[in-house]
Amino acid sequence: MFQHINNNRNFIVSLFFAGMVISPVMVILLSGFQAEIEIWTHLKQYVLPDLVKNTAILIIGVMFTTAVLGISLAWLTSFYDFLGRSIFHRILLLPLAIPAYVMAFIYTGLLDFSGPVQTFIRSTIPSIAPYFPQIRSAWGVIAVISLSIFPYVYLMASSGFRSMGKSMIETSQSLHAGRLYTLFRVTIPMARPWIFGGLILVFMETLADFGAVSVFNYDTFTTGVYKAWYGFFSIRAASQLASILVVIVLAIFIAESYFKKKQQFYTNGHQAVVRIKMNRTRSFFAFGFCAAIFGLSFVVPVFQLLIWTIASFTVEINAHYVTLLKNTIVLGVMGTVFTMGVAIILAYSNRSMGDIKTGIVSKLCLSGYALPGTVLAVGMMGVIAWLDKTLIEMIGIFGGYPISGILKGTLWLLPVCYMIRFLTAGYTPVFSNMTRLTSSMDEAARIMKVTGFKLLTKIHLPLLRRGIITGSILVLVEIMKEMPVTLMLRPFGWDTLAVKIFELTSEGEWERAALPAITLVLAGMIPIISLTFLGRNKKQNVITG
Amino acid sequence: MSLQVNNICKKLGKNVIAADTISFKIKDGELGALIGPSGCGKTTLLRMIAGFEKPDAGDIAICGNEVVSVSHNIPPEKRMAGMVFQDYALFPHLTVHENITFGPEKSTKSEIEKLISTTGLSGSEKKYPHELSGGQQQRVALARALAPKPGLLLMDEPFSNLDIALREALSEEVRLILKEYGTTGLLVTHNQHEAFAMADQIGVMQDGRLLQWDTADNLYYKPASYDVASFVGEGAFIKGDIDESGVITSQIGQFSSEHVNGFDSSLPVTIFLRPEDVRIDSDSEYKARLIKSHFRGPGRYHTFELPSGDQFVCLDKCPKRRELNKEYGISICNQKVRIFQYHPCPDRFLQGICCQVIR
């Protein structure tokens, strides 16, 4: 069926989605070019220096911390056998289930002046209380964001170490290289494309983070954009700040594709590494290190959330919570259906692995994940303003009444934004299944007289089903956790769990934010658990030569 | 005739000629093979027969029914042809049995059972493709293609993913299975030994042209052209000259032929020698220097160099070691050899003729 679809038509459809994805970026870049001197001077004088400094400190700090945590944990769990390794190997991904803004408010609530820890110190050893570090500081933000996203580096470094196979390490040893020498001359350099890939993800996430830094009142570009737009009601100033972000994102996006390309050259051997068994003391220290990181990044926050949830449960579990949950799920499902639709169409149009132009267009379609939510929202506002103006003019031509805004403030904007932001998450699993659906399979089915709709139901759907389900879960959970875009573009009064958390935490109501937060954490655990613990389907359906 | 291919032409893109007026036939129950270096157009030709590509000109008939011509083009699913793909294209979500019975035409239970046992798949019916070895997957692909009882079975490099030992064993087995089912087949391969082992008729392709369509013996002993001679089997080309009377002289011997009309005495000719055509003969007036020698199963392979710099290989049945860099007498042990003449326009060698060895 699909092979009959004209290739050209496929291309035009992808081009349409690519246009949709980059239109907000275009609007923002255009506004950057048409900078008004007045706004620009004001920004340059009063706003920019602090934003640049804060953002730079934050990104450098988070990248350094996540690199140290991620690489060391990946190295331990990939090459050594110690107490609890096989469990840590998996559960170290769980912190990803806690959104950074949730992690932020938990630790603020826990370590703030009025929090339980400081209160306890003041009452027991008052002499050291003044030396307690201030959580609402650059260090605090760096630590909290790092704890919530270090698994990216851990995951990438692990797969880098694993893809290397044992032959490289054995070769190094056969050349009389010691263990540390091998680590720094072979293991880490060979895993570099993966490690850098993970660090770039960290860079993007940190740059895009809005929720965590708002909790800490730590001003970065994203909060700058939000405040310019919300506080000063100046979409111009917001766009101009956003245009700087877009330029940074473009640069980092290009760097990322470079490292992705490099990964394929570094894959070597399929024989798994033989892990070295540690002696008791070392095993104990390795266990302690992993347990400490896991405790700080998952156990403590979840425990704290549970305490707050229990304390506030009877008050908070009410009709309002149900509405929030319903709103979140309705938006999530709408966004997921739209995103997965686009992902499947795009996967089919890329299936034939065509020419350069198809490659560029699909790359554009999938570039939205690099865009910080605040930037996307501001850009979308620009696109919508333009579309509304055009529509109103057209209605005017036909003698209709000019009304203020047709698309602005409607619910339909959000699924489009979610698609732009999370298309990659939905597309990747579908496309990886699509590679198993070789063109010779279509031909084999065809020569056996199975074509059209039957081909779709007997061959395509069974082979793509897993990818579509995985993609849908990932996208749904990402949308549920999404905050800045929903916050800035939602129709009036249409609150979701994430938006409610933002509102409550900006007023310091940690306890009341716990129930929505734990709902999101539970949702976030679904994809992580199903992907890491349940492993792959038994019918793996992978044919190896 | 199970397959008739007439004057097929096909261009890929602007400059690549995949098929240049190709014609051949395969009789009922016979096996044909197309061999040639990669990129010579053999797979494209096979896919045109299957119906996945359309020729620019020419027509094809399967089992007497015209399937493609200028005026009409029957889709692959209606062509009575089966196909074994290079990557097998097994459906990974279906078991072996489900793969084999995939098509809408239902064979009887006993037919399927017989097919499964003939292809050596008994006991694996419930397994999934990824649980099978490469050779087993190959068998499934074959059984699946045979299940609808196709009038013509097309095989695209069916053994290229297997290791050498398995490849040889399986290619002979597949031939027996196809003969048992009386299926007409066409195989595409870049491995000539595979083609020799399986096919009754073999076509040698190069740059979209079918150079020769013949039996394996004829391809080996009577190559129609220089290109066929150099592609099929091992051999060497020795420079020579031809005079007006048709006598050819070279550093390895003198030859004559009655069929020299068309040969131009002003242009050089080349003498084609198989390793088994030459022997070491201390009485011979023709000398060559031994530059390389290695053991090869029965006997040794000696590489000699003539004063002109031409090299050739001699298969010496006697396993005795010979001294390197020494001159040996050489003579031709066959009555006849093939001669080709070089033509500067269109820069290729003329068709070969058979020549009598004089001395």
Which of B86, B93, B104 has the CB atom closest to A462's CB atom?
A: B93
**Per-residue pLDDT reduced to its tens digit, A148-165:** 999 999 999 998 888 777
Q: How far is A1 from chain B (nearest CA, A)?
A: 14
Q: State what percent of residues in chain A have pLDDT above 90.
A: 37
Report the amino acid identity of residue B123.
G
Beta carbons of B89 and A545 less than 8 Å apart: no
Specify the pLDDT at position A274.
74
For residue A403, name the pLDDT band (cuts at 50, 70, 90): low
Lowest mean pLDDT among A59-63, A334-338, B339-343: B339-343
Which among A464, A543, A544 is the top mutation candidate for probing chain B, defined by the most B β-carbons within 10 Å of its own β-carbon? A543
State whether A449 and B83 contact (CB < 8 Å): no
ipTM of the complex: 0.76
- Looking at the fold, whether A398 and A425 belong to one and the same domain comes out as yes
| In the block, residue with structure tokens 């013996």 | B217
pLDDT digits (tens, 9 = 90+) for A84-115: 998 998 899 999 999 999 999 999 999 888 88
Cα separation of A221 and A225, whole Å? Answer: 6
List residues bridging with A523 in a β-sheet: none
Q: Are residues A274 and A401 in the same domain?
A: no
For residues B192 and B231, give the distance between their C-alpha atoms in angstroms, rounded to a whole number. Answer: 9
How far apart CA A393 and CA A416 sit, in angstroms, is 24
- Sequence-ordered alpha helix ranges (H) in A448-509: 452-455, 461-481, 484-489, 497-506
Q: Using the beta-carbon criterion (under 8 Å), do B130 and A436 form an inter-chain contact?
A: no
The Cα of B89 is separated from the nearest Cα of chain A by a number of Å equal to 5
Better-predicted residue by pLDDT, A508 or A171? A508
* Residue B324 pLDDT > 60: yes
Residue A351: both structure tokens together: 């299936």
B163 at interface of A, judged by CB pairs closer than 8 A: no
**Do A212 and A301 sit in the same domain of this protein?**
yes
Chain B residue at shortest CA distance from A440? B89
Question: Is B7 within 8 Å of B24 (Cβ atoms)?
Answer: no
Q: Count how many residues are written for chain B.
A: 359
Which residues lie below 8 Å from residue A206, measured CB to CB, with a gap of 6+?
A: A58, A59, A62, A63, A145, A149
Which is it for strands B201-206 and B209-214: parallel, antiparallel or unpaired? antiparallel
Residue A93 is part of a domain; what is its CATH number? 1.10.3720.10
Question: How many angstroms separate the CA of residue A21 from the nearest CA in chain B?
Answer: 33
Residue A7: domain span: 1-34+317-435+466-506
Helix (H, G, I), strand (E, B) or coil at B273: strand
Say yes or no: A90 and A70 in one domain.
Answer: yes
Between B35 and A493, the more confident residue is: B35
- Phi, psi angle pair for B173, to nearest 5°: -65, -40
Contact A446 B76 (CB under 8 A): yes
SS3 B266: coil
Query: Which residue of A436, A447, A451 is in closest CB contact with B92?
Result: A436
Q: Does residue A540 have a pLDDT over 60? A: no
**B160 neighbourhood in chain A, CB within 8 Å:** none
Assess whether pLDDT exceeds 80 at residue A66: yes
Instruction: State whether A95 and A212 are in the same domain.
Output: yes
The model's pTM is 0.79
Domain co-membership, A23 together with A107: no
Question: Which residue, among B49, B67, B128, B137, would best test binding to A if mutated, counting the most A CBs under 10 Å from its CB?
Answer: B128
Task: Decide if A90 is inside a domain.
Answer: yes
Q: What pLDDT does residue A537 have?
A: 45
Inter-CA distances, B36 with B26, B171, B243, Å? 18, 18, 35
Residues A83 and A215 in one domain: yes
How many domains does the structure of chain A reveal? 2
- The number of beta carbons lying within 10 Å of the beta carbon of residue A88 is 20
Q: Is the pLDDT of residue A420 over 90?
A: yes
Which one is predicted more confidently, A302 or A432?
A302
Whose CA is closest to B279, among B235, B322, B239, B316?
A: B316
For residue B132, give both structure tokens: 């099978």
Contact yes or no for A449 and B104 at CB 8 A:
yes
Rounded to 5°, the CA angle A535-A537-A542 comes to: 110
- Helix (H/G/I), strand (E/B), else coil: B287: strand
Mean pLDDT (chain B) is 88
pLDDT of residue A542: 41
Please give the Cα distance from B141 to B158 (Å, whole number): 9
Average pLDDT over every residue of A461-470:
90
Q: From the CB of residue B63, how many other CB atoms can be counted at a distance below 10 Å?
A: 17
pLDDT at A488 over 50: yes
* Distance of residue B102 Cα from the nearest chain A Cα, in angstroms: 7
A356 & A411 share domain: yes
Nearest residue to B158 via CA among B123, B197, B128 = B197
Q: Which of B75, B79, B93 sits opposite A463 (nearest CB)?
A: B93
- Tell whether A409 and A474 lie within a shared domain: yes
Interface of A with B (CB under 8 A): 436, 438, 440-441, 443-451, 458-459, 462-463, 539-545
Identify all chain B residues contacting A446, using CB atoms and an 8 Å cutoff. Answer: 75-77
* Å between B163 CA and nearest CA of chain A: 11
Q: Is 60 exceeded by the pLDDT of residue A1?
A: no
Task: Choose the closest CB to B134 out of A444, A447, A545.
Answer: A545
Please state the φ and ψ torsions of residue A313, each to the nearest 5 degrees.
Answer: -55, -50
* pLDDT above 60: residue A174: yes
Q: Both A228 and A248 in a single domain?
A: yes
Q: Which residues of A touch B128 (CB under 8 A)?
A: 539, 541
| Per-residue pLDDT, A354 | 63
Q: Which residue of A has its CA nearest to B89?
A: A441
The answer to whether residues B276 and B312 touch, using CB atoms and an 8 Å cutoff, is no
Alpha helices in A235-355 (DSSP H): 235-263, 280-294, 300-316, 319-351
Q: Taking 60 as the threshold, does the pLDDT of residue A385 lie above it?
A: yes
Distance (Å) of CA B216 to CA B30, B31, B152, B208, B220: 14, 12, 21, 20, 6
Q: Which domains does chain B have, with CATH numbers?
A: 3-221 (3.40.50.300), 234-357 (no CATH)
**A264 in a structural domain:** yes
Looking at the structure, tell me whether residues A59 and A80 fall in a common domain.
yes
Whether B50 sits inside 8 A of A440 (CB atoms) is no
